[in-house]
Amino acid sequence: MKEKQDVLQGTLALMVLKTLDILGAQHGWGIARRIGQISGDILAVNQGTLYPLLLKLEQEGSITSEYGTSENNRRARFYGLTASGRKQLQAETREWEQNAAIIARFFKVKAGDLT
Amino acid sequence: MKLVRRFFIRFSNLTTGPSGDQRLQDEIAEYLAFQTEENMRAGMSSSEARRQATIKLGATEAIRESHHAEYSIPVIENLFFDLRYGIRRLLRSPGFSCIAIATMALGVGATTAIYSVMDATLLRPLPYPHPDELVRIEDDLPGTGAQDVGVSVPEWRDLQDSGVFEAVSIASHGADVNLTGAAQPERLGFKAVTSNYFAVLGEDAQLGRTFNPHDATPGYNLEVVISDGFWRREFGADPQIIGKSLRLDDDEYHVVGVMPHGFRDQGSTSEEQNTELWLGAGYSGLPFPPPQRGVRIRRAVIARLKPGISIVSAQQRLDALVETLKKQYPGDYPLETKWTVRLIPLGQSVVSSVRQSLSLLFGAVGLVLMISCVNVANLLLARASGRAREIAVRQALGAQRKRLIRQLLTESLVLFLLGGIAGFAILFCAQRYLLRLVPESLPHLNEIAIGWGVLAFALVISAAAGTIFGLAPAWLMSRDDLIGTLRQEGRGSSGSRGRSRARQILVISELALSLVLMVAAGLLLRSFWDLYKVQPGFNPERLMAVQTWLPGPNDPALDRYLTATQQSVLVREVLRRSRTLPGVQEVAVSDLAALPLGHNHGAVDPMSLIREGQEVRENLAPVIGGSVVSPEYFHVVGLSLLRGRLFTDQDIQGTPEVAVINQAAARTYWPDQDPVGKRVHLRTKREGNRDFLNSANATWTTIIGVVGDARTESLAEAATPELYRTVYQHGSKGLVIFLRGQLNSSAISALVRQQVQSIDPELPVFNAETLDEVLSASLSVRRFAMEMVAFFAATALLLAGLGIYGTISYLVSEQRRDIAIRLALGAQRGNILRLVLGQGIGLAAFGTGVGLVSALVVSHLMSGLLYGVSPADLPTYGGVTLVLTAVAVAASYIPALRAMRVDPITTLHVE
């Protein structure tokens, strides 16, 4: 039970950071919607997981939050990426790409390649 | 790094819970607003849009909970909640809380009290820098059976050159000196120390300086260092004290330094530690004996090891040095004596006398603490049965077992900690009164303080006890059979079997522990009683002793009490005038060694006993304790003459030397012979001459009489050989004046002082005490230990009795239905009584069995403290078992009566 949540939280954090990186400052609902869009509607973000995650990232110093106005003139809390958050994003992106490359190599191996 | 940052943020968020929640509420509201708009744009009606948005959001409560879990630290929050809840519960049942807290207060308070004594005495015996480098050096001659015979000055120099020590110093044990020049002559205690003494200890003066470590004055260097207390008392803390002179024993000394406030000298008695004067001495010139290798100085040798050298390796190097010296000086170290040099850590040697007693006390109080904890655990379990339903409901509603255990454990901890704090508080308030109970001879008495360290100890003990003894009830309470409890069927019979078993085990252990304590107390009581009742061999009734000190200036030419003849003038006058005092029947005079039980080991003058025709080599001779007395002494003190004669006034300096021995000496050194008429050579440390046997000083002493044995060294030692010489042939600087008769003990001191000072106004008169007081003072540490253990045993018995009472009551209330059914089916009330009593006695039997075995083990460990009583003393064990069984039966009787009176109809009807 715990492990699933961990993986989910870890990848969700990456997605949130990437979203903020691409789109700039966003509010909570916006982040959830964009992640849903980018994943092709496969992932439906649970607000119960998102809000605690945003809090955790803010406490860690990867994102900041402040009040602002949205596009339809609503007052909302906007989250933005910090410098250390950007660094964390870069580091984790590299790690993911490395892991994906290793796994891909394994999938490409045929019986004949191994002796 | 991130974790640390998060932790601190969450920690600071502990107090701002509501604002965090408010922020989440805002976010949720925003979300709903956005999502509703989106839905409306997709074509839903406003109410439908809102509804869909809410569904998409999910369970708000769950979101709030997980947000809050991220926001602050749930563990700490739950802890606070548990604490508040626990305290509320305690307040709601004040009777239970009071009993539990009082029990714990007693256990923790007693343990903490003994710990504070141990802390001051055993754990920090040396308040100097790097105390583990300090050692005591003792010379032994195991070949003649002598220990701690003292070093000689050349040996001291060899030790200093051995490279093992930073510095080696010699310190006397605490001697007397007259301070004259003030209104009244005063007797003071001082220590004669070599000039590097303070360097060895590592302490410096607050004013002026200590002795120059390189000062090599052979005699006294006429400098004195004084203590802070003396400085304030005698000189009113005069800042110009340095350079002032003091007249000590008719010599003029100059004050060179004042030791800091709170400085304690090393030593095994309070008197040594409170030394007020230190005189610098080289031990190589007058008035000391000549610094020859064969002349031993019976003083303490304190040294500091070089840093990095362990005691073991130091000892090895010393052994090698000893071998070398033995080969170099065969005449001074004959092989038969097997001379060795021993290193003892100084911390050990200053507390060895009381370590055993204190360890016993600590063990005893530990048992009391355990019994208290067991009692409180029992109480907690008893309360548990009332909460079974509540806990079952909570578990049915989804409470996790771990969470429940945490909460129950917190409740127990609160109880134990409150009890511990209460115990500490009582101790803190009562400390002055309690300190008065501690015997004065306990070293470091004035350092016993109830401070932060002791508080920490109390808290740690309470927390540990709370965790250990609270865990079992918590565990058991959360293990209930949910369905059975909720249906309230078989109330208490099935679901609480675990609890019932636990309670029985607790009570049995309580009984066993109490038995052990009671056996220990019983054995100690018997020892003490036997010792108290032992015939001391002398007659202490209506006998008083007053002391005076004759000055001994450094230059013998100035000493007006140098020879025995000079002293005897004073002695005869003192005797004559004291006889005229009101109520006085008999008077005698002796030196301090002849004050029965009133002197410490260092006061006795050990002499080499060279019997005519037996000992040829003087360093092989046995050593006997000697003292100097006036002829009336034996009659006044109550020693009976067995053979020969006592001293007369005709045995003076110039006539043949005579001595009287006691029966133990006669038996030891002249077995199967009549010692009267035999001649011996006696050599004390004062006569320092290597060729003693051949020199003019070697006079023969004739044994003229044998007196009965008396326990003058210690009440526990039956017959130590003693040799007495007459004060008219051998003087003594310290004199004890014995007075027998109908005396007014408070007035005697002043009267004797008057008489003595009318002869010589510069003599101080001090320490007036009755021999009864001296006797009971010699037993003070034993009595203290015995009283404490007896008190603990009584407490333990009380607690055990309460424990049994509680358990049997609980059993009875559990078995109400069974009893009611039995009664309804026709059982006699007497049978019920027997049934319940049987349960109580069963528990007692188990407890007694376990207790007896443990008591046997413990009493064997204690056997060093017992006197005249074997560790397996049958009457003690039997008596204690009887008492415990009686208490157990009495404690079971009341609940048994209650069981008897169960009304079957109402009981069964209610169920």
CA–CA separation, B795 and B782 (whole Å):
20
Which residues in B lie closer than 8 A to residue A51 (C-beta atoms)? 24, 27, 63, 66-67
| Contact: A27, B37; criterion CB under 8 Å | no
* Closest alpha carbon to B55 in B36, B69, B37, B68: B36
Of the partner residues B30, B37, B58, the one whose CB lies closest to the CB of residue A28: B30
**What secondary structure letter does DSSP report for B119?**
I
Mean of all residue pLDDT scores within chain B: 82
Which residues in B lie closer than 8 A to residue A28 (C-beta atoms)? 27, 30-31
Of the partner residues A46, A47, A53, the one whose CB lies closest to the CB of residue B31: A47
| Contact: B5, A60; criterion CB under 8 Å | yes
Identify the pLDDT of residue B603: 64
- b/e for B415-429, b at 16 or more Cβ within 10 A? bbbbbbbbbbebbee
* Closest alpha carbon to B594 in B725, B695, B476: B725
pLDDT in tens, A27-60: 888 888 888 787 766 666 777 788 888 888 888 8
The position carrying tokens 């009595």 is B783
Which residues in B lie closer than 8 A to residue A30 (C-beta atoms)? 34
| Contact: B2, A61; criterion CB under 8 Å | yes
Identify the pLDDT of residue B820: 84
pLDDT in tens, B137-161: 888 888 777 777 788 888 888 888 8
Give the pLDDT mean for B276-301: 81
Helix-, strand-, coil-residue percentages of chain B, each rounded to 5: 55, 15, 30
- The answer to whether the CB of B738 falls within 8 A of the CB of B545 is yes
Q: How confident is the model at residue B738 (pLDDT cuts 50, 70, 90)?
A: very high
Percent of chain B, pLDDT > 70?
93
CA–CA separation, B408 and B506 (whole Å):
19
A74 CA: distance to closest CA in chain B (Å)? 8
Say yes or no to pLDDT of B280 above 70: yes
Interface probe, candidates B5, B11, B30, B40, chain A, greatest A C-beta count within 10 A: B30
Q: How confident is the model at residue B807 (pLDDT cuts 50, 70, 90)?
A: confident
Helix-, strand-, coil-residue percentages of chain A, each rounded to 5: 65, 15, 20
Interface probe, candidates A51, A70, A71, chain B, greatest B C-beta count within 10 A: A51
Residue B911, token pair as written in the block: 């169920």
Interface probe, candidates B19, B31, B57, chain A, greatest A C-beta count within 10 A: B31
Which residues in B lie closer than 8 A to residue A72 (C-beta atoms)? 37
Of the partner residues A30, A33, A47, the one whose CB lies closest to the CB of residue B58: A47
Identify the pLDDT of residue B73: 79
Say yes or no to pLDDT of B27 above 80: yes
Distances (CA, A) of B270 to A14, B136, B312, B520, B834: 73, 18, 30, 28, 59
Identify the pLDDT of residue B853: 92
- The answer to whether the CB of B365 falls within 8 A of the CB of B792 is yes
| Contact: A48, B33; criterion CB under 8 Å | no
| Contact: A52, B2; criterion CB under 8 Å | no
| Contact: A74, B33; criterion CB under 8 Å | yes
Say yes or no to pLDDT of B257 above 60: yes
Decide if A34 touches B, using CB distance below 8 A.
no
Distances (CA, A) of B671 to B447, B626, B668, B704: 50, 20, 6, 16
- For CA atoms B434, B440, B443, B447, the dihedral sign is positive
- The answer to whether the CB of B714 falls within 8 A of the CB of B559 is no
| Contact: B67, A72; criterion CB under 8 Å | no
Query: What is the rounded radius of gyration, in angstroms, for the C-alpha atoms of chain A?
Result: 17
pLDDT in tens, B178-234: 887 766 788 888 888 888 899 888 888 888 888 888 887 888 888 889 988 888 888
B31 CA: distance to closest CA in chain A (Å)? 5
Q: Within 10 A of B482 (CB to CB), how many other CB atoms are there?
A: 13
Cα dihedral angle (B288, B291, B295, B298), rounded to 10 degrees? 50
Decide if B9 touches A, using CB distance below 8 A.
yes
Identify the pLDDT of residue B164: 85
Identify the pLDDT of residue B706: 92
Identify the pLDDT of residue B688: 43
Residue B218, token pair as written in the block: 């052979």
pLDDT in tens, B779-801: 877 788 788 888 888 888 888 88
| Contact: A48, B59; criterion CB under 8 Å | yes
- Cis? peptide before B287, omega within 30° of 0: yes
Give the pLDDT mean for B11-30: 81
Indicate left, alpha or beta for B890 from its phi (over 0: left) and psi (-120 to 50: alpha): alpha
Decide if A36 touches B, using CB distance below 8 A.
no
pLDDT in tens, B342-388: 898 888 877 776 777 778 888 888 888 888 888 888 888 777 766 77
Identify the pLDDT of residue A3: 45
User: Number of CB pairs < 8 Å for A and B?
Assistant: 61
pLDDT in tens, B462-517: 899 888 888 877 777 677 666 766 666 545 444 466 677 877 888 888 888 888 88
pTM recorded for the entire structure = 0.71
pLDDT in tens, B643-699: 899 888 888 888 888 899 999 888 888 888 888 888 888 877 554 444 445 555 567
Identify the pLDDT of residue B173: 74
The position carrying tokens 């003396």 is B230
Say yes or no to pLDDT of B171 above 80: yes
Of the partner residues B9, B31, B58, the one whose CB lies closest to the CB of residue A29: B31
Identify the pLDDT of residue B174: 66
Q: Which residues make Cβ contacts (< 8 Å) with residue B208, sequence separation at least 6?
A: B225, B241, B242, B255, B256, B257, B258
Burial of residue B278 (CB within 10 Å: 0-12, 13-18, 19+) is buried
- The answer to whether the CB of A29 falls within 8 A of the CB of B34 is yes
pLDDT in tens, B62-86: 888 888 887 877 788 888 888 898 8
Identify the pLDDT of residue B357: 77
pLDDT in tens, B378-422: 888 777 766 777 787 888 888 788 888 888 888 888 889 999 899
| Contact: B30, A60; criterion CB under 8 Å | no
Q: How confident is the model at residue A7 (pLDDT cuts 50, 70, 90)?
A: low
Of the partner residues A30, A46, A55, the one whose CB lies closest to the CB of residue B70: A55
